[in-house]
């Protein structure tokens, strides 16, 4: 429906000549009435009339285009459009092209991504690659776009497309090792891809990959969290893998105040890790750097005390944590 928005009434909407516009009802005394633009008010008045009449027609579909252009976040308009598309048996590939154009201009609009998922569900696996390509284009512009990531995760789990996803994660992390969204996606692939064999099969190589990322930049929190996640539910395996305590040791030998290394080491000790002589020596050295008065303190309490000094933003948490050590 072509409409310039310059006019008002049936004269500017010939196909609506038989429709009585329905104004918005803000009650008899609105506290802060909104001063809508004339074109917006006109479109929405006609929209309400067709919506409440449940007119699932071609002209109603064209009207939703006007309403979406004016406000792409209107949930009711999108909902009504879906009802019309189904009633008319519309070409959903054409509809996907339409919504993609809207999404490119409004990449963080929840209603648009919801509509895309509805269409993808209807279109099935044949649309998977197109949807993955669209999210890739969106993530080039904003690598942390939550809506794009959420849609991508839904697509590969519901429609397929696992084949190249790990390589995609590799690419993103090569470009930006701090991309926590890519680390999160990598974990999804490792744990849920039907092609890789699951976490038990992938853990060994993933630990090596993650340790390499940690050593490249120990202040990057994402790989530390990812490393611990690789042992989720298996604490015995976590403390028995010498690579885990080993990376803590390497980092602390270069930077005794690294919060992430200290925090993981504290977890390991609480879980029952029997530290090597080398690790004991490192912790003793850290004690002396941090506070010589901790010389006689046990290892777990010492690491917690060091964290109180190195992590001032969470000093209250570490103080509380230390009170739990006796129990």
Burial 92-119 (b: 16+ CB within 10 A, else e): beebbeebbebbeebbebebbbbbbbbb
Could you tell me the residue ranges of all domains in the chain? 1-90, 161-232, 252-327
> What pLDDT score was predicted for residue 293?
65
> What pLDDT score was predicted for residue 6?
38
The set of catalytic residues is 108
How far apart CA 276 and CA 196 sit, in angstroms, is 34
How far apart CA 165 and CA 172 sit, in angstroms, is 11
Per-position pLDDT tens, the chain of length 327: 333 343 444 457 788 999 999 988 777 777 777 777 888 999 999 999 999 999 999 999 999 999 999 999 999 999 999 999 999 999 999 999 999 999 999 999 999 999 999 999 999 999 999 999 999 999 999 999 999 999 999 999 999 999 999 999 999 999 999 999 999 999 999 999 999 999 999 999 999 999 999 999 999 999 999 999 999 889 999 999 999 999 999 999 999 899 999 999 999 999 999 988 888 888 887 777 666 666 557 888 889 989 998 999 999 999 999 888 876
Other C-beta atoms within 10 Å of 67: how many? Answer: 22
> What pLDDT score was predicted for residue 33?
72
Note the pTM of the prediction, 2 decimals.
0.88
């Amino acid at each position: 429906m072509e409409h310039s928005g310059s006019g008002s009434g049936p004269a500017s909407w010939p196909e609506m000549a038989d429709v009585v516009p329905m104004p918005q009802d803000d009650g008899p005394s609105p506290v802060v009435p909104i001063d809508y633009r004339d074109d917006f008010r006109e479109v929405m008045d006609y929209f309400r009339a067709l919506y409440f009449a449940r007119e699932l027609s071609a002209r109603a579909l064209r009207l939703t285009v006007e309403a979406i252009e004016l406000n792409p976040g209107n949930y009711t308009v999108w909902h009504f459009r879906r009802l019309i598309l189904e009633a008319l048996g519309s070409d959903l590939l054409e509809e996907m092209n339409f919504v993609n154009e809207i999404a490119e201009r409004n990449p963080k609009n929840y209603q648009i991504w919801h509509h895309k998922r509805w269409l993808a569900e209807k279109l099935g696996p044949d649309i998977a690659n197109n949807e993955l390509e669209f999210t890739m284009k969106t993530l080039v512009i904003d690598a942390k776009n939550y809506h794009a990531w959420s849609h991508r995760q839904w697509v590969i789990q519901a429609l397929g497309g696992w084949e190249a996803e790990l390589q995609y994660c590799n690419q993103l992390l090569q470009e930006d090792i701090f991309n926590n969204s890519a680390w999160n996606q990598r974990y999804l692939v490792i744990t849920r891809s039907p092609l890789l064999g699951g976490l038990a099969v992938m853990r060994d190589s993933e630990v090596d990959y993650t340790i390499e990322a940690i050593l490249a930049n120990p202040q990057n929190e994402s790989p530390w969290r990812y490393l611990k996640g690789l042992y989720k539910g298996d604490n015995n395996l976590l403390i028995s893998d010498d690579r885990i305590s080993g990376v803590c040791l390497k980092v602390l030998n270069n930077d005794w105040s690294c919060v992430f290394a200290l925090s993981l080491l504290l977890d390991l000790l609480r879980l029952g890790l029997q530290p090597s002589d080398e690790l004991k020596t490192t912790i003793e050295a850290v004690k002396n750097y941090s506070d010589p008065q901790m010389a006689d303190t046990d290892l777990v309490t010492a690491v917690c005390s060091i964290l109180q000094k190195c992590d001032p933003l969470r000093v209250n948490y570490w103080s509380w944590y230390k009170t739990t050590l006796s129990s």
